[in-house]
A and B are shown apart, each in its own frame.
Chain A
Amino acid sequence: MGSTGHLSNGKLNLNLLRDYYRRELLECLDKCLGSKALVWDDALTGPFGLIAEYSLLKEHEVEKMFPLSDKGLPPSNVQNIIFVTRPKLHLMEQIAQNLLQEEHKGGFRKEYHIIFVPRKSLLCEKKLKESGVYGTLHYIEEFNLSMIPFDSDLMSMEMEGAFKECYLENDYTTMFYVAQSLMTLQFLYGIIPNIQGKGDCAKNVVDMMLRMRRELGGREPQITPQIDNLLILDRNVDLLTPLLSQLTYDGLIDEIFGINNTSVKLPPEKFVSSSQSPEDAPTEKKKIILNSSDELYGELRDKNFNAVGSLVSKKAKTITAEFDERHAAKTVSEMKHFVSKLPHLQQMRQSLSIHTSIAELIKEHTDSEEFLDSLRCQQEFINGLDTDKVNTYVEDCIGKMEPLDKVLRLICIQSYCNNGLKTKVLDYYKREIIQTYGYEHLVTLMNLEKAGLLRQSGQRHYPTIRKSLKLIVDEVNEQNPNDISYVYSGYAPLSIRLAQYHARPGWRSITEVLNLLPGPTIEEIQQIPVALRKRRSSITSSHSSVMDQKVTLVVFLGGVTFAEIAALRFLAQQDDAGAEYVVFATKVITGQSLVNSLTGVHT
């Protein structure tokens, strides 16, 4: 990850955040003098890659990097061994084991340290003490990397357990991290004056945040607020959206291949260049980094997939045309002009070929019968068609033993759109799942019910919500969208509708719907010293509306999908947009990852 220019392209310069983290990290590293080896908790390498490149670590005397494993550490002659780890108990066991083995080995005298990311934990330290290795450790530091900047308008905590912990286990630790992260953001970008939110967790976070501000006791940086609004949404306010199949470009990539820390691994066959012979085709998966520094991806990612084909071919034509200019170039200056454009053109051509291949891979999937049928079934459900009885398609999926997450997603959608299922229907589905996928999923089903994804029939809110928030849009234009519903080809994500109303005309206009959604509605104002308030431009300046576009930070507790992010970006691009959006989520999720996080016996 060489260039980080894409982080500073937004209204909020996220490079500031990245730099902040880099400083913190180096501070941690520099505490240990001499050469170092880092031992990585695997889940952290991705996020760290986005913060500090290897060369930077090298400058600070990091000579070796090892993955953390049970097998112990490979021999090395560095002076310091630093474990970089999340505060998880099973990882502590591995670290303890490693340390004991090292002690046993003896040899070259080393110092051992731990850096906890994002925070130290008492339980982990206790575990280390119990294992008898706590004394061996020299420094125990914490590095508060909790908001990983993915793109100029997107930060994620990459905490997959957040939803489960909050809604299933009443463990709000992640919410505490969120509140702390928001404090960090306010430290860097100024106090956010207006706070609104919906849901229990949102309330929790806002309360903690206000409390932390009080704890700061006025020692806050004197910065003019760069973020005007904070909108915090609980995932359980909108459990429907993530369950549906995303139809945007990056949404589909995530659904099919999984995007991790802005990179995706794809089957290599499609990326063999024509010059390579098929024999030496790579067998390793091809890793591609997806962020807005790739100009073409920046344009494609939020498009409905049906519009991707035409856009790609249009781009192809422009590039070919531009390449053809070299024939037209007669004079030296024309030639020079052409050559100057060349690197950019070549880059574009390369990126074009990558995305053509990705699009083909996706198309294979979207053309499949399984995908289309499932999509049709979803569309029926959200339109409220036949949601009250057992659905044949779902039955067939179970009969054919299609992946459990797909089946569960469909049933959960049906449950949501029917305001819960009749006991008979629900029990039938549950029994079918247990008989087909195994008894262990009794626990899965209980979890889903506890989290509210599956319900017994209750009050009939969905039709009201659907109508008042115009969730279903019949006339949808996928090529040149005029409404956020394009991201799901006809369904407007509830969460983003809330954001839309939040910007204009304000939540007061939808009080009734808000009351139907679970959890409290929150509204807080944080006082800003007069000197730091943004000066509103005078009435005389005609460009005021453009210049003054407000920045809204939207926080999704329990995860956000790429399609939702796309919808927010779409909102910001509208002429009458009320705000620019920056997204901060506990994790970028898909329906699959959401359902899977609740699956299984191993809770």
Chain B
Amino acid sequence: MATADWNPLGEIYYKKCEVYSMGWSDIVDISKFEVSAAPYGGPIALLKDESKTARVQVSTKPIITVFTAAGKQISQMRWNSGSIHKMGWSHTEDLLFVQDDGVVLVYDMFLTFKKTFGMGQEAKDVKVIDCKIFSSYQGTGIAVLTSTYRVFIINSVDDPRIRRLAEVPGLSSAPSSWAVINLDRQSRALIAKGSELCLIDQGGQYQVQTPDVSTEVTQFLAMSLSFNNRCLAMFTDKGVIWIGSSDLQKKYCEFNTKSPTPPQQLSWCGAGAVVGLWGNMMLVVGPDKDWINFNFDNPVHLVEEEDGLRIIGKYQHEFLYKVPEVTEKIFKIGSMEPGAMLFEASKEFYKGSQKADEYIRIIKDKLEIAVSQCIEAAGHEIDPAKQKPLLRAAAFGKCFLTDYNPEAYVNMCQMLRVLNQVRNHVIGIPLTYSQLQHLSMPILIDRLVLRKLFYYAVKICQYLKIADAEGASRILAHWACYKVQQKNEDDETIARAINQKLGDTPGISYSDIANHALEEGRPDLATRLLDFEPRAGQQVPLLMKMHKDNIALSKAIESGDTDLVYTVLLHLKESMNQGEFFMAIRNMPIAYALFIQYCRQQNRKLMEDLFYQEDNFQEEGTCKVVNSFNEDRMEDRIEELKLAQACFTKAKNEFAKVQTEEQIKLLKYQQRLEEEMNRPYLNLSLHQTIYRLTLANNHKVAEQLRKEFKVPDRRFWWLKINALGECGDWVELERFSKGKKAPVGMEAFVEVCAKHGNMKEAMKYLVKVSPEQKVKCLVKVGERKKAAETAFENKNEEELSYVLSKCGPSDKQLVDTIREKQEFIIIQQRSGSPSECSAKESTSSSDADHNQLALYHVTCQPHNRGYMVPIGYKCTIYVTCPA
């Protein structure tokens, strides 16, 4: 019968089942140990303090052993610090030891020391008389009660910040019992002082409360908070168990045990029942005064869970829990719930009985509920043999539903598979389905990793298809960190092994692993590992930390991240002398170039030094040239230029050398000119200098410079013509035109006169202009009509268009004439005879704003074969003219 082991507690049932037969049964007698087990199926720590049990005073230190929940030994060590007052687990499954001087030591479950911190000076000075390790909002907290009856509390062992709670007024002896309550995101302590209870908090406030107890109370001997901190159980000196809300506002029941001694353990089983343990007798009390009694053959230890109570004994590890509602619905005798019917139907179906159909019919419209119930109930079963028929029933029921979303079913199957795996005594985490819901899968995976069960963890991730970044690769990274601790293997082997497993798996941080290796004192291994790190931003700082500056530099360069390169470069520059530094970067062109960039903006002198060292004469010369422009004094400028010249000579840059020479010469000229004429000439180019001289009518010096610097004729002519035009020296211009034959043509003279508005002068040169330039020149002097005529005489259509393009709105008449002539030429050229081609102006568009276009239609006759216009086509000629 499924209900055989159900124990009724009022309306509900409690069930106790075995989870493990303990692996330690031959070696351990837990009555001789102090026991502490972590919740959520965590490991069990045993502390054997022989000094307490021994009859004679012995000086041996206690031995600490850690077992899995299945009683398999994980680790053992002999304590070598002070006197342990209390031992407990943190939410990350670290083992905490609180010494009587308030020092807290943190170990992992392999008993590797992690860290230590104190509970403050006062606790250290006056000693701790009691201590609670509790779960707070920020993780795991510790509260200590000192011999001065003050309470000090930290809310998180990860970030220990000590707070002192308010003083209980008039407390002159140790409280008979106390507890830490976590409500409203605050940790407070509840201190029993005689028949009163005092709630003290961090803000220095205290609150005295007297709970409603019907019998007389002198003392509260024990108190216990439920897992969720909402309910409180207290044991009075008269043997009464008081059950109520943790704010003491509500009382659920009082139960008289008639026991004069307080229980060894007062615990909660989930949130529904209080359990007291006296020797081998365990009493379960429900909120309605119902009770169950259990007797054990051996001493046991109770561990609270959120949904039940674990009972750890010498031979067995049992779990006491309330039979879940849904399980009750299905299995309760005579239940007519849909789930129960479906379960029956499924059973009949596998027996091959037609009753299956009958049952299904009964619950036809509630089938969906039935399936959900079966799935849920399966989740609550611990024994796979009981899970299976329930799941099978759900699967069977599912067949009759058309639109059923299988997700819940699939999820449950997956979860159960994972749960059954971790519950296996090899792993030994007896987690229930509701605990897992609360704990979440990632944390379960973390716990596997914590136990160094990397392979299981990876397999679970792969099975659940968890993304690599959160799943497999994260686990592999942990594995790698563990691997680098293995001192018996050499660096090369480890590095290779790690890379082989991890490869390029996304989400792996090789730099983290390398950092770990470095902390383990294995820099060589770290370097090897860093080689695999793709993120230069992570790699480079660590390399620098390891003083592998050269590798850091080349990695930074590879990344292309300029800032990273500078980080290394500037570090190098500071840690080396200049010569070494230059040598270090000379073979790294990118680093070299970036350093030059830096110098260019910050330290030009250093840049020159670099070029000098590298025999880069060309660049060195360029630097000197730039410098010459920054010098104020003439001598310094010339000095810099001389240096530049020398550099260019060494660089075999003949051109630059000669130009520099000439520049020196020019500067000297200009200086002399400034002194003589009292006008600024410095900083002008040679061309500008001669131009200025010409403007100043100083043709002799101009000529001298021209010869000295071998200015080509053509340019000199342009220079002189323009200069003379600018200063309006028309006489000199004319004289110049009559001199040596101009290499630029007469049109240059026309142009300059026209540019400066002297049309009369321009006409003088116009006659001498070559025929092909004539039209252009006529246009330039404004004689558009004449230009048009000349162009027509030349029978040159292009020239006509040119004139046309230069016509403005005032030339309307001229435009018309030109167009006529133009058409004439076009047609003549293409057909040979103009008469046979008709051309007329078409309508010009009416909107005056945009009247830019005049349209012409030319209809080509069969015999006038133009190369542009196919025969018979109408062609439109667009002529653009400015509006």
Interface residues of A (CB under 8 A from B): 89, 119-123, 126, 165, 169-173, 175-176, 179, 204, 207-208, 211, 214-219, 309-310, 312-313, 316-317, 320, 352-353, 356, 360, 363, 367, 392, 395-396, 398-401, 427, 430-432, 434-440, 442-443, 446, 601-603
Contacts and interface: CB of A to CB of B under 8 A. Distances in A.
Nearest to B709: A435
A208 B597 contact: no
Contact of A219 (B469, B663, B712): B469
27 contacts: A89-B602, A119-B563, A122-B563, A170-B593, A171-B593, A172-B560, A172-B590, A175-B560, A204-B560, A214-B534, A215-B534, A216-B506, A218-B468, A219-B507, A309-B852, A317-B850, A399-B715, A399-B718, A430-B659, A432-B712, A434-B659, A434-B686, A437-B687, A438-B684, A439-B660, A443-B622, A603-B600
Interface string B656-692: 1001100100100000000000000001111110000
B594 interface: yes
A442 B469 CA distance: 57
Contacts of B711: 435
A260 B880 CA distance: 30
A309 B880 contact: yes
B852 A313 contact: yes
A435 B560 contact: no
A218 B468 CA distance: 9
Given A121-B562, A123-B602, A217-B469, 5 more contacts: A119-B563, A123-B566, A169-B593, A176-B561, A399-B717
B719 interface: yes
B535 A399 contact: no
B805 interface: yes
B715 A442 contact: no
Contacts of B686: 434-436
A217 B510 CA distance: 11
A310 B878 contact: yes
A313 B854 CA distance: 11
A371 to B, nearest CB: 12
Contacts of B468: 218
Interface in B429-459: none
B626 A443 contact: yes
B637 to A, nearest CB: 11
Given A121-B563, A309-B853, A356-B850, A446 B622 contact: yes
A386 B421 CA distance: 86
A442 B625 contact: yes
A208 B560 contact: yes
B506 A218 contact: yes
Contact of B560 (A179, A317, A401): A179
A399 B589 contact: no
Nearest to B561: A176
Contacts of B883: 360
Contacts of A170: 589-590, 592-593
Contacts of A395: 712, 714-715
A395 B601 CA distance: 37
B598 interface: yes
Contacts of B694: none
B294 interface: no
Given A120-B563, A171-B594, A396-B718, A217 B622 contact: no
B407 to A, nearest CB: 20
B847 A320 contact: yes
A399 B534 contact: no
Contacts of B683: 438
B contact patch SS? helix
B847 A316 contact: yes
Q: Which 10 A-B pairs have the closest CB atoms?
A: A218-B506, A399-B718, A170-B593, A316-B850, A438-B685, A217-B506, A436-B687, A173-B562, A399-B715, A439-B663
B722 interface: yes
B659 A439 contact: yes
A398 B687 CA distance: 10
Contact of B744 (A171, A175, A399, A401): A399
B592 to A, nearest CB: 8
B534 A208 contact: no
A440 B660 CA distance: 10
A392 B590 CA distance: 42
A435 B559 contact: no
Nearest to B656: A442
A71 to B, nearest CB: 23
A427 B655 contact: yes
Contacts of A120: 563
Contacts of A427: 655
A392 B685 CA distance: 21
Interface string B467-478: 011000000000
- Of B562, B719, B722, B880, chain A has the most CB atoms within 10 Å of the CB of B562
Given A218-B506, A399-B715, A169 B597 contact: yes
B696 interface: no
Which of A173, A310, A367 has the largest count of B CB atoms less than 10 A from its CB? Answer: A173
Given A171-B593, A208-B559, A436-B686, A217 B853 contact: no
A119 B566 CA distance: 14
B507 A217 contact: yes
B659 A214 contact: no
Contacts of A204: 560
Nearest to B627: A601
A396 B601 CA distance: 38
Nearest to B593: A170
Contacts of B805: 367
A386 to B, nearest CB: 16
B687 A317 contact: no
Contacts of A121: 562-563, 566
A171 B622 contact: no
Given A171-B562, A218-B469, A434 B685 contact: yes
A435 B708 CA distance: 12
Contact of B629 (A122, A432, A601): A601
Contacts of B775: none
Interface in B135-171: none
Contact of A443 (B566, B625, B655): B625
Nearest to A119: B563
A313 B844 CA distance: 12
Contact of A215 (B469, B535, B714, B722): B535
B560 A218 contact: no
Contact of B562 (A176, A353, A363, A440): A176
Given A123-B598, A363-B882, A432-B715, A211 B629 contact: no
A217 B508 contact: yes
A121 B592 CA distance: 18
B152 to A, nearest CB: 36
B412 interface: no
A243 B485 CA distance: 63
A204 B655 CA distance: 34
Contact of A400 (B594, B622, B722): B722
Interface string B527-549: 00000001111000000000000
Contacts of B625: 439-440, 442-443, 601
B562 A317 contact: no
B847 A439 contact: no
Interface string B840-874: 00000101011011000000000000000000000
B570 interface: yes
B597 A399 contact: no
Given A317-B847, A431-B659, A435-B686, A310 B507 contact: no
B507 A218 contact: yes
Contacts of B34: none
Interface in B592-621: 592-594, 596-598, 600-602, 618
B420 interface: no
B165 to A, nearest CB: 34
A208 B688 CA distance: 49
Contacts of A398: 715
Contacts of A175: 560
A89 B566 CA distance: 14
